[in-house]
Chain A
Amino acid sequence: MSDLWPRIEPLLASVERPARYIDREWGALHIDDAEYHAALVYPDAYELGMANQAIGILYQCLAAIPGVAPERAFLPWRDMAEQMRHNDVPLFTLESCSPLSEMDLVGITLPYELTYSNILEILDLSRIPLRAADRTASDPLVIGGGPCAYNPEPVAAFFDAILIGDGEHAVGQIVSVHRAAKASGASRDEILSALARVEGVYVPSLYSTDSGSAVSLGTAPARVTKRLLDDLGMVRSPVCPVVPFMDVVHDRVTVEVLRGCSRGCRFCQAGMVYRPVRERTADTIVRDVLAGLECTGHEEVSLTSLSSADHSQLEEVLRRLSRRLEGTGVTVSLPSLRVDAFSVEIARLLGGGRKTGLTFAPEAGTQRMRDVINKNVTEEDLLGTVRKAFSAGWHRIKLYFMIGLPTETDADIEGISALVRKVQEAAKESVPPAQRGGIRIGVSVATFVPKAHTPFQWDAQITLDEVRRRQSVLRDSMPKRGVDLSWHDPEVSFLEGVMARGGREIADVIEHAWRAGACYDAWTEEFSLGRWREAFDACGVDPLSIASRVREFDEKLPWDHIQTGLSSEFLRIERERASEAITTPDCTFDECTGCGVCPTLGVDVILGGESRE
């Protein structure tokens, strides 16, 4: 391993926030004489990557393997990347300060589609060939994984292998297969064939996509079944994670209280692909929270999941934690709240005297539209929650909505404004007259992006012109006073939509856009749709035919070879029920909905308590 620190140190005087590059954080592991070095790379800035729970979990899993040194690397900010190129310094890992190209394994997270150009920037700064096909025995194994792996095709060409699903057990198996193959002198092709036999591992080079969907060329499985940790209790939440010096986005201990969500919102990819629901028990959660706080010295802990308020023992957990943390100034937070009275109670329990603001996601403005997307929230639920929150002393709430949902009409958009007006009135009625001027309603509106493995995977995303038209319908009908209306950039959503459902042809586009300067696309000031449009033109790819085209149910889809356990019949029936605005219940509260995950993957729902309320 080469130590690059002497060459990095002189660069730090002239870059912003050098704490991103210096390592030495509490909890960072420096394992001398390891035989195998595995880098975990987050394809965005340090302050985002250090908030990523998967990196923390996998760091711990790798550290538990004898002879393996886990390391971290992040995309350097533009000023540092420029200095590194100018001074001929390659991208390095934090722990050993070695070039990424000297690692045995480079694992890159796929957190959201807008990081795809960053992946190329990382490989280029590391001097690792961009395409798997150009790599040789001396290059590290480059493996992807994470949320975007469920449609891996747009980035398939850049990875030797991609893990679909939970990484806790898979990562150890990948390392052990790789080590054994190297020890026996296996060629790169032989290593890849061996990896393709690991459950959940997709090796793109062993599949042809000439027919529209990926077809195994030989020994690799026809469909890659997602890896599933069937009981979260088998792996402890990281107890001594790395404690950043820098103020990162979620600077706190995180304990994942449950994985999966079966509420069944039809637009939500996470709710579809992370099934079934697996809760940790109250005892484990309390134990891991206290251990994590003691080891890190953090002042905040977050109980994370897709829907933490759904945990069957949440009240017990919060009661026990508030008793144990009394007088320490340590706060407990939940990433999201449900639209119901219980959530206001929870918020009151969490915040103590603090009433900073509450966030709820009704997603749509009319009951019909909410039934279409299976968001089981009624207007009465929302208004009741609002009354309760404002009576309890809150003066600010934020509401999340989407436009462009399937079957949406202008009446549904005006329904958002009408709902906001009712929320405003309910809020006014719930506070003393003198305080009414202080009421603020934040309304944040995103464009719906159809995702793979959801009932809306066959639907068209609305075009940019149509987004602008619908935005003006919303703007014109929205109350002008007391409402802060904000939009998620529709141009970003458009690119996200193309990446989310594109096939292997997108790889050329990503490379073209990156060569033209695309990088840090998720940062508003760095994003340029023009650069991407040129790349689509140059590569002969029509982005509208990917994002804004309705597909037939029997059309071959680029992600057909990825098996999440959901039956395609279930997705189709859900799409049909959506058309008829018929809702489907949550199987953790009600009976089985027949999504197919449990029987296909041989697993079951796990609740910490007897049942959910």
Chain B
Amino acid sequence: MSEGLFRLRITYPKAGRLRFLSHLELTTACERAARRAGLPYAVTQGFNPKMKVAFGPALPVGTGSTCERFDVWLREYVPAGEALERLRSSSSVDVAPLDACYVALRAPSLAASLTIATYDVVTVGGVSVEDQQGSLDALVKAGELVVEHKGKQKVFDLASTLPKEPKVRTSNGQTVVEVTTRMGDRGSLRPESLVMAAFQRSGTGGSVLSVTRTRLAEEEDA
């Protein structure tokens, strides 16, 4: 089949109940929405032709987002606004696209270029904003975080993992920790792991209610 001539970049959320989807489930849902929308998508070459599509960095099960992205290559030009409307009416509301725009065919891949992610971690447990900020500052100052995941230990150097220091704020009566991390080849630090480690380290109670990715950025924007 023909090579895709147009590369459409879609921004979409992962909200509500659909934050319980895995990365694979989410990507399948996006591809099916593109088919339902009747977009003139390009297919890959080879024995097993598939829709030509590429996704940004994966989100874990349970983590929401306001800023996920995927690229789909089209054989024919469809005005971006029209493509967006068609996608929105073909998507479940909790993942309905927010924006569509064309990018250069030679632009770097989403997965390779988007290395910086910012999250809102909503906490509960009645600890004051000042105490939370203090415990996070102390952890960052310690410089290193050991995280256990599925029986394996991972050591994160916080100076390189955190391009910005975590900030605690209140928003709509909730306490929110804003965490920005740099995603590496050898696994990424989950923001809730950082927040829980800070709480445990300082002996303050509190737990994480929800995690939402709010911004994906390239290295130079960090």
A353 touches B62 (CB 8 A): no
Closest-CB distance, B212 to chain A (whole angstroms): 15
CB contact under 8 A between A24 and B47, given known A12-B62, A297-B31 = no
B61 touches A18 (CB 8 A): yes
Chain B interface residue count, CB cutoff 8 Å, equals 32
> Once the chains are docked, how many angstroms separate the CA of A297 from the CA of B49?
16
B18 touches A299 (CB 8 A): no
Whether a CB of chain A sits under 8 angstroms from the CB of B24 is yes
Residues of A close to B94: CB separation below 8 A: 24
Closest-CB distance, B129 to chain A (whole angstroms): 25
B31 touches A25 (CB 8 A): no
Select which of B1, B18, B35 is within 8 A of A22 by beta carbon.
B18
Residues of B close to A13: CB separation below 8 A: 62
A26 touches B32 (CB 8 A): yes
Whether a CB of chain A sits under 8 angstroms from the CB of B38 is yes
Residues of B close to A12: CB separation below 8 A: 20, 62
B92 touches A247 (CB 8 A): no
Instruction: Give 1 or 0 for each of A292-312: 1 = CB within 8 Å of chain B CB.
Output: 011111110000000000000
Whether a CB of chain B sits under 8 angstroms from the CB of A329 is yes
Residues of A close to B24: CB separation below 8 A: 247
CB contact under 8 A between A297 and B35, given known A245-B29, A327-B1, A353-B47 = yes
**CB-CB contacts below 8 Å: B1-60 with A:** 1, 16-18, 20-22, 24-26, 28-29, 31-36, 38, 43-44, 46-51
Whether a CB of chain B sits under 8 angstroms from the CB of A352 is yes
CB contact under 8 A between A25 and B17, given known A297-B35, A354-B48 = no
Residues of A close to B18: CB separation below 8 A: 22, 24, 245
Residues of B close to A9: CB separation below 8 A: 17
A24 touches B92 (CB 8 A): yes
Whether a CB of chain B sits under 8 angstroms from the CB of A586 is no
> Once the chains are docked, how many angstroms separate the CA of A24 from the CA of B95?
11
Closest-CB distance, B8 to chain A (whole angstroms): 16
Residue of A at shortest CB range from B33? A297
Whether a CB of chain B sits under 8 angstroms from the CB of A231 is no
CB contact under 8 A between A246 and B36, given known A22-B18, A329-B51 = no
Residue of B at shortest CB range from A295? B36
B25 touches A19 (CB 8 A): yes
B20 touches A297 (CB 8 A): no
A25 touches B92 (CB 8 A): yes
CB contact under 8 A between A297 and B36, given known A13-B62, A245-B28 = yes
Residues of A contacting B: mostly: loop
CB contact under 8 A between A327 and B43, given known A24-B92, A247-B25, A354-B48 = yes
A294 touches B17 (CB 8 A): no
A329 touches B49 (CB 8 A): yes
> Once the chains are docked, how many angstroms separate the CA of A25 from the CA of B47?
30
Select which of A22, A24, A294, A353 is within 8 A of B38 by beta carbon.
A294
Whether a CB of chain A sits under 8 angstroms from the CB of B90 is yes
> Once the chains are docked, how many angstroms separate the CA of A9 from the CA of B43?
38
Chain A interface residue count, CB cutoff 8 Å, equals 28
Whether a CB of chain B sits under 8 angstroms from the CB of A443 is no
Residues of B close to A328: CB separation below 8 A: 43
Whether a CB of chain B sits under 8 angstroms from the CB of A243 is yes
CB contact under 8 A between A297 and B43, given known A12-B62, A19-B22, A245-B29 = no
Residues of B close to A297: CB separation below 8 A: 31-36, 90
Residue of A at shortest CB range from B36? A297
CB contact under 8 A between A296 and B36, given known A245-B25, A247-B28, A327-B43 = yes
Residue of B at shortest CB range from A17? B22
> Once the chains are docked, how many angstroms separate the CA of A48 from the CA of B26?
20
B47 touches A296 (CB 8 A): no
A243 touches B32 (CB 8 A): yes
A22 touches B20 (CB 8 A): yes
Instruction: Give 1 or 0 for each of A332-363: 1 = CB within 8 Å of chain B CB.
Output: 00000000000000000000111000000000
Residues of B close to A508: CB separation below 8 A: none
B31, B35, B46 pick with most chain A CB within 10 angstroms = B35
Select which of A18, A298, A354 is within 8 A of B32 by beta carbon.
A298
> Once the chains are docked, how many angstroms separate the CA of A82 from the CA of B25?
25
Whether a CB of chain B sits under 8 angstroms from the CB of A23 is yes
> Once the chains are docked, how many angstroms separate the CA of A294 from the CA of B33?
10
> Once the chains are docked, how many angstroms separate the CA of A585 from the CA of B49?
42
Residue of A at shortest CB range from B25? A245
**CB-CB contacts below 8 Å: B129-170 with A:** none
Residue of A at shortest CB range from B37? A297
CB contact under 8 A between A19 and B35, given known A12-B62, A354-B48 = no
Residues of A close to B49: CB separation below 8 A: 329, 352
> Once the chains are docked, how many angstroms separate the CA of A328 from the CA of B31?
12
> Once the chains are docked, how many angstroms separate the CA of A280 from the CA of B131?
70
Residue of B at shortest CB range from A327? B1
> Once the chains are docked, how many angstroms separate the CA of A247 from the CA of B26?
11
Select which of A22, A245, A329, A353 is within 8 A of B50 by beta carbon.
A329
> Once the chains are docked, how many angstroms separate the CA of A346 from the CA of B62?
44
> Once the chains are docked, how many angstroms separate the CA of A335 from the CA of B43?
25
A26 touches B36 (CB 8 A): yes
Closest-CB distance, B146 to chain A (whole angstroms): 22
Instruction: Give 1 or 0 for each of B98-118: 1 = CB within 8 Å of chain A CB.
Output: 000000000000000000000
**Known A18-B62, A245-B29, A354-B48; further 10 A-B contacts with Cβ < 8 A:** A9-B17, A17-B22, A18-B61, A19-B20, A25-B92, A26-B36, A293-B35, A297-B32, A298-B32, A329-B43
- 5 A–B pairs (Cβ distance < 8 Å), ordered by A: A26-B36, A245-B26, A247-B25, A294-B38, A299-B32
Interface residues of chain A, those whose CB is within 8 Å of chain B, are 9, 12-13, 17-19, 22-26, 243, 245-247, 293-299, 327-329, 352-354
